[in-house]
Amino acid sequence: MKKSVVLLFVSITFLVYGQERLTFQKPSAEILALADYQRPPAIQTSPDKTWLLFMYRPTYKSLEELGQEEVRLAGLRINPKTRISSRETYYNNLRLKNLADNKEFEIQDLPPDALLSNIAFSPDAQKVAFTNTTDKGVALWVVDVTTQRAKQLTDYELNAVLDEPYKWFRDSEQLLVSKLPSDQKPLVDRRHDLPQGPAVATSDGHISQLRTYQDLLKNPQDEQDFEHLATSELHGVDLNGNQRKLLDAAMYLKSSFSPDGQYILTTVLKRPFSYIVRYTSFPQETTVYEVNGKLLKQVNELPLIEVMPKGFSSVRAGRRSMGWRQDKSASLFFVEALDGGDANVEATYRDELFSWDAPFSSPPRSLMKIVDRFAGTTWGNDQYALVYSQWYDTRNVKTFVLNPTTGESKIIDDRNRQDIYADPGDVFRDKNQYGTYVMYIHKGKTYWVGGGFTEEGEFPFIDELDMKSFKKKRLYQAKPSDLQERISRIVDVAKGEILISLQSSSEYPNLYLKNIKTGKQRVVTAIPNPFKSLEKVHKEVLNYKRKDGVDLSGTLYLPAGYDFDKKEKLPLLIWAYPREYKDKKTAGQSTANPKQFTFPSYGSFVYWVSKGYAVLDNAAFPIVGEGQTEPNDTFIPQLVTNAEAAIDAVDRLGYVDRKRVAIGGHSYGAFMTAHLLSNSDLFAAGIARSGAYNRTLTPFGFQSEQRNFWDDPQLYITMSPFMSADRMKTPMLLVHGAADNNPGTFTLQTERYFQALKNLGAPVRMVILPRESHGYVAKENILHLLWEQDQFLEKYLKNKEEYR
């Protein structure tokens, strides 16, 4: 394809600020060597744990890819021609490896110029399905694992706008595909049509708490376009490509098969639509069909949700979280709020969990009432299931063992969800007689895999839990070693076989098949380190305290060959992201690990260790609000004390010049950066990327704040760096994607903040990256971003020249 040259420039609507007309630049050789690398493959394990599927994709997208045709409707970004997300991530090659003999195979007959996505093994692990996208649309392909050959099953006619475009039937012989209606015509471009009337929205007087969303419907034409693009038919397709229509055209939000494969559960979107909420809040109708497409029963109906009670523990009224019980042939489960979904009302129980057996002619059966808010289930069998609950205000999570037959339940875990040192891990799930994944129970025992984070380090474990006595027995725990071990999955409980990864700061994480009974292990993958130039960089985890006693940590990098005797004073870069906690104990816990592989990316400052900087990466910036106090009540003072503690910790070691320290962050980290530059004199420079700076533009909450602007106007004003722009005198680089899709971080936030800083005489530079969303993906933009940051840091940290 012909490549287009895109010019990067700074623009503010209606105002001219001496923009630089700049073509895309590349960073210095040291940084480019790290940034321009070949991305290692992503890996899937087959359901029978026999095969590994290696999925390769380019390291970056291109601006040309980001410039494809796109419509933004109901919170989605859609390519209207191909009927798939315009921001889809694509793979371009697949390989298979047999775990038994380590033989690796190329997949033959993959489509040319492949754009592969939606990749999934069949339930019997004998096939791999994927979609390929071209200018014509999306088609379904399948790979025979035995022959390692791919073939096309459908034309380029699938619809991937709302849901995955296909699902495997339970027998692995057919697939359920979402197909464009046979009589549907292409979307009509009506951008130049005269409007037929105004866009109108009304309020019925109910109080609600809705966040600020992007890409919403705006007028009747958007409504028509959304319905047109979201509509599909459901067809069955066999492995020879033969099709049969099962369900008529509708806006299918999701579909799934019952464990026995005899029924299909579908949820469709209905009108009326909304101009203030995303498509997930539109009216929904959930129905069960027989596998041949015959209607069985409508099992749920939800209205448009434009009114939500305040609080993160509030939910929509009515039946929710409906799905198939994985331990039964054909039973649904769902939850219904007993408090109307309003977390602010007094209630003995918040939620009730139900089970409902096909053919749904009898009423649903209550399984248990839950004091807090339902947070999920893991099904096992008729005797054992796990039910999880949570309550946001206290950060509490509980795990119950439920007997689905008798309704008896017992709490087996009750903790602060942020208490990572007390995390019991996740229960091991494996396939049952239906081929669905349930809690593995052997002779009344279950098995739990945990990360094993402790004050001393990371030591993953496997526990055996007796489901009658609830006594735990530790079957395995990783031992201290020069390499960090992590458990990828249990392969065979009886044999003691597990799949692990081993890594160090300079050794890429590779997979090994290990026997925990014998201790023997063998190599499964041998992916080399793609960042050789960082192999000799010094890396350590710093543990330190802030002045109120909260434990903090960060990962410190020093240039290769740094002389610890001479201790040259280096410029220091700190990259951080503030996180909220309800107590000091959990705020002080750390997952920082010096043995974790150093995987640099544009999302941190690690690249700059190759340029002679010291880097404190992922510096802990906890914001604690204990008891009735909310974290944001003292947000700014805590930010400053976090920053002081981080600089002091590195300075005490004698490594840095504390007059040459820069702070940086992305999103909420950018918000943090702006506050620190306005409210402290700790930093010589700052880099803020894709942030929000005026909280009055997000008046119904932001990040973890549940109060709205009218609850506490002063809080919102204090929490807005825009309001203190007159105090910002430190050089700052502001960066934003021109097409940011994140709630609250509209590109306008950076444009207006820059306008205020510029007019107030602050030393600031703004860079708007064309076509980028909240996270940046195009190679041209990322390399230019690194160049901008490199130029900025060389000037204001290494050389500390006056900004011009």
Could you tell me which of 583, 505, 596 has the C-alpha nearest to residue 551? Answer: 583
The two structure tokens encoding residue 27:
């960073």
In order, the DSSP letters of 200-240 are -----S--------SS---SHHHHHHHHHHH-EEEEEEETT
10 Å Cβ neighbour count for 37? Answer: 14
Q: For tokens 């918040």, name the residue.
A: 350
Q: For tokens 């750390």, name the residue.
A: 590
Could you tell me which of 549, 558, 550 has the C-alpha nearest to residue 594? Answer: 558
What whole-number distance in Å separates Cα of residue 442 and Cα of residue 465?
10
Identified catalytic residue from 740, 773, 784, 790: 740
DSSP run (H or E) holding 34: helix 29-35
In order, the DSSP letters of 352-394 are EEEEEETT--SPPEEEEEESSEEEEEEE-SSS-EEEEEEEGGG
In order, the DSSP letters of 465-482 are EETTT--EEEEEEPPP-S
Q: Is 784 labeled as catalytic in the residue annotation?
A: no
CA dihedral 120, 300, 212, 731 (to 10 degrees): -30
Identified catalytic residue from 667, 678, 720, 773: 667
What whole-number distance in Å separates Cα of residue 711 and Cα of residue 695?
13
Residue 48 · residue 100 · CB < 8 Å? no
Provide CB contacts within 8 A for 278, sequence distance 6+: 74, 75, 76, 213, 216
10 Å Cβ neighbour count for 596? Answer: 18
CA dihedral 497, 499, 500, 506 (to 10 degrees): 140
What whole-number distance in Å separates Cα of residue 239 and Cα of residue 26?
48
What whole-number distance in Å separates Cα of residue 585 and Cα of residue 641?
17
Burial readout 438-475 (b: 16 or more C-beta within 10 A, e: otherwise): bbbbeeeebbbbbbbbeeebbbbbbbbbebeeeeeeee
Provide CB contacts within 8 A for 761, sequence distance 6+: none
Q: Is 657 labeled as catalytic in the residue annotation?
A: no
Residue 509 · residue 486 · CB < 8 Å? yes
The phi and psi torsions of 252 (rounded to 5 degrees) equal -75, 110
Q: Is 667 labeled as catalytic in the residue annotation?
A: yes
3-class SS letters over 66-113: HCCCCEEECCEEEECCCCEECCCCCECEEEEEECCCCCEEECECCCCC
Q: What is the largest CA-CA distance in the chain?
A: 81
What whole-number distance in Å separates Cα of residue 793 and Cα of residue 664?
11
The two structure tokens encoding residue 736:
């934003």
Provide CB contacts within 8 A for 507, sequence distance 6+: 483, 529, 597
The phi and psi torsions of 283 (rounded to 5 degrees) equal -55, 145
According to DSSP, the residues that pair with 705 across neighbouring strands are 702
Identified catalytic residue from 666, 675, 774, 784: 774
Could you tell me which of 640, 572, 583, 646 has the C-alpha nearest to residue 612? Answer: 572
Q: For tokens 């296909």, name the residue.
A: 166
Plot region of 785 (φ>0 → left; ψ -120 to 50 → alpha; else → beta): alpha
Q: Which residues are catalytic?
A: 667, 740, 774
